[in-house]
Structure 1
Amino acid sequence: MDNLTPSDLFSPSKARQQRAQAQDWAHIDSWLSYKYSGRTVPTFERNEETLKVLRELSMANERADEERTVLERVEREALKELDEVVRNDNDERILSQLKSSLTQEGEQALHAIASTAVALNTPTAAPETLAHALIQHTTTSQNLTNQLAHIETLQTYLATQTSLLRTQLDELQTNPAFSTPHQLQRQTIEQTRQTKHLRTKIREYEDRLSSLQFSQNRTMTPGSANIGSAEVMGEMLEQQKVLDELRERVEGLERQVAEFAGLPADREMARKEVGKLEVRLDEVRRRRDELFEGLVG
């Protein structure tokens, strides 16, 4: 009932669920106190999953107690009936004569067969029946031994994992790196304030954008109505492509003109200068050929 929230007061289903859980926890606490017989009950996490497991364990324990009680009552009644059975004197005489006629080994064998039949709870003392019962009990014992070893291995693994989880939990609770920053509340308030401010700015800019779009729509001419259409955009891309080609041609011409830098502006004088350079070029070529022939000779 302590876990009820204000919203649960207006939800009858949640309130009933909380009451049922409180009753179940009260039953579990009473059952654990009875089982521990005055000893301190170990602490554990109280959640729905733990409550479900403990409730099933309590019910299984109650069924086992009832079965044990019934079995004890049946055994008492059977012993009472056996005590009330009147022994036959003739049977006792035959048994006494049989024992006196047996050797020591035979008496030991008879006692062993009788004890085995009683221990195995077989209806007869026939060797085949005793053998089948003994094999069945041996198989059951081996299966239980294997299951017990598996449970012990699982218990060891769970204990290791529990220790590891407790270590990690202690690390999370004690390590300052996982603690909440002291300025978190101030940062949260500041971010909330900035968020509100940005929302106000966004609404303001949206209003401005709407006003600009409205003004643009009013001042838009019929010819500019289709300025954003696909055809107009295509034409603009074609014009941009032609403009890029012209720019490349102009740059090529500028590189060609740059090769004639330093020549006179007058055409005749430029031709004379080019002629002089050609004569010098011929002289340099002849000089190169003579040097090459000298090297070869």
Structure 2
Amino acid sequence: MDSLTPSDLFSPSKARQQRAQAQDWAQIDGWLSYKYAGRTIPSFERNEEALEVLRELSMANERADEERMVREKLEREALKELDEQTPTNEGDKRILDSITTNLTSEGNEAISALASTAVTLNTPSPNAETIAHTLIRHTSTAQTLTNQLAYIETLQRYLEKQHSLLRTQLTELTINPAFSTPSTLQRQTTEQVRQTKHLRTKVREHEDKLSALQIAQSRNNKGADVGSAEAIGEMLEQQKALDELKGGVEELEREVEEFAGLPADREAARKEVGKLEVELDGLRRRRDALFEGMFTR
């Protein structure tokens, strides 16, 4: 422990802290000397951390000593109380000795068995009927616990089997290339969605143009220019281009709908695609097996 410095003399708080630490170290040294009982105390660094640990250790040791003393006192008092409650009636003792002496060996064995059974079952009376009811109750409880234990063991084996099966399936999903999602899936989906949005925008633009043209034609009462061959040809070309554009949009929408059932998450989508590929492989193997079976017949 550091000694007081000249600057600490002008700081009452530091001086009080140093004195408190000195008292704590004195108590710790006394406690260690008592515990080691004349043996050499191991050397250690004297700092605040060590002081705090030793202080907590000494307090815990004191609490343990107090608890041990209380427990020993209770044990002594309980033993004394039991000794006081022990029957000292000499008449009862003589009667018991007389009965024990005059009993046959079978009788001694029977009375010893009755006493042992009453003590084991913790019955308040050695009455045969009371012991029988207690024994039946204990037997019923033991059988119930045995059945529950057997059920729990069966359930544990089932859970262990399912756990092993799930780990095997997880390993298969991890290492089997069939369950891996193609690296280009996200890029293809993004590109198809982008094209779909673009084509939908174009379709709306052409529909607006067609509507404007139809309105202009309806407002033209003369009908000479609208019914001309050039106007009709232009309208047919626009209608043909619009039909082709609609066909492209519908085709692209059908391609996008093939991925409509996939989750939005990339990893989840890969797992779903892998699962479908596994099912497809199973159907192919089944088809090949049926095809081979037709020829083997």
TM-score by length of 2: 0.44
TM-score by length of 1: 0.44
Larger radius of gyration: 1
